[in-house]
Amino acid sequence: MKNILMLPIQASTQSAAIDHIIVLVHWLMLIMFVGWISYFLYTIFRFRSSKNTKASYHGVKTHFSSYLEIGLVLIEVFLLVGLSIPFWQNVVTAFPPAEKALTVRVVAQQFAWNVHYPGKDGRFGKTNSSFVNSQTNPIGLDPQDPYGKDDILTVNQLNVPINKPVIVRLSSLDVIHCFGIPLMRLKQDVLPGMKIPTWFEATKLGTFEIMCAQLCGVGHYRMRGFVNVMKPEDFKSWMTEQEELLLEEAEADDSEDDFWS
């Protein structure tokens, strides 16, 4: 069944469990399809006009159809209670401990993904919508907050280490978006005015596409980003490089202020 569905590669720890649910549901759908078609063909043959020349106004007097309906309801209850709810609790909402995970903020806007990392201090700077500037400060980082001085911001590029849980805190600046990484089997709606967490753990090195799975405006087609899964040492080097760039920018700003003062 997995080959028939042509599922993409599994690039996260959640992928196998999600694919298992998808395959199982399709098997159940196939069984139900065969059952319904068989029953449909049976009724066509059983009640064909050549054998039933006189119309019956009383219908079938057995309880077979009632038993069939009860069976279908039980199957649906099993899908919901036996599979979907436990899966949701164990895979989707069972967040890893924050101290063992990389935590990032992703702020969606028409039509980009703004990725916000805490700096060396491990704390995010305060944000406020009054500071939002689409060109220089798309996430509204408070310029006076000392915890935000070393924060790192990228656009459409989410860099993460392999085999480390990543907690993503999602929010939106404007309309409803949907943060989706198909090869990680991750998709989460992003609603304005809400902070919505999700998480994944990458198991393959490489670059994987981030898509917006919610029609969000005329530029929806170009709202693409990328997850760059790195070796831990490469990710650490990248973070160090970004911190050095921030330090250089801060020194340049101080020099400019001294020049004009």
Given a cut of 70, whether residue 260 has pLDDT beyond it is no
What does the pLDDT read at residue 152? 93
Report the chain's mean pLDDT, rounded to a whole number. 87
Given a cut of 60, whether residue 234 has pLDDT beyond it is yes
Given a cut of 70, whether residue 249 has pLDDT beyond it is yes
Secondary structure (3-state) at 98: helix
What does the pLDDT read at residue 253? 57
What does the pLDDT read at residue 254? 54
The answer for residues whose C-beta is within 8 angstroms of residue 194's C-beta and 6 or more apart is 171, 172
* Distance separating alpha carbons of residues 132 and 130, to the nearest angstrom: 6
Residue 104 near residue 139 (C-beta atoms within 8 A):
no
What does the pLDDT read at residue 261? 54
Q: Strand 186-190 vs strand 177-181: parallel, antiparallel, or unpaired?
A: antiparallel
pTM: 0.81
Given a cut of 60, whether residue 257 has pLDDT beyond it is no
Domain 98-260 annotated CATH 2.60.40.420: yes
Percent of the chain scoring above 90 in pLDDT = 49
Residue 202 near residue 163 (C-beta atoms within 8 A):
yes
pLDDT category at 176 given cuts 50, 70, 90 is: very high
Helix or strand (DSSP H, E) at 165: strand 165-172
Spatial CA neighbour of 190 closest among 210, 213, 209: 213
Task: Please state the rounded mean pLDDT for residues 26-40.
Answer: 89
pLDDT category at 206 given cuts 50, 70, 90 is: very high
Task: Give tens-digit pLDDT for 34-93.
Answer: 988 998 998 888 877 777 667 777 766 777 778 888 988 888 888 788 877 887 777 777
Task: Please state the rounded mean pLDDT for residues 147-155.
Answer: 91
Spatial CA neighbour of 217 closest among 165, 175, 168, 163: 175
Given a cut of 90, whether residue 213 has pLDDT beyond it is yes
Given a cut of 80, whether residue 118 has pLDDT beyond it is yes
What does the pLDDT read at residue 259? 46
If one compares 80 and 223, the residue with the highest pLDDT of the two is 223
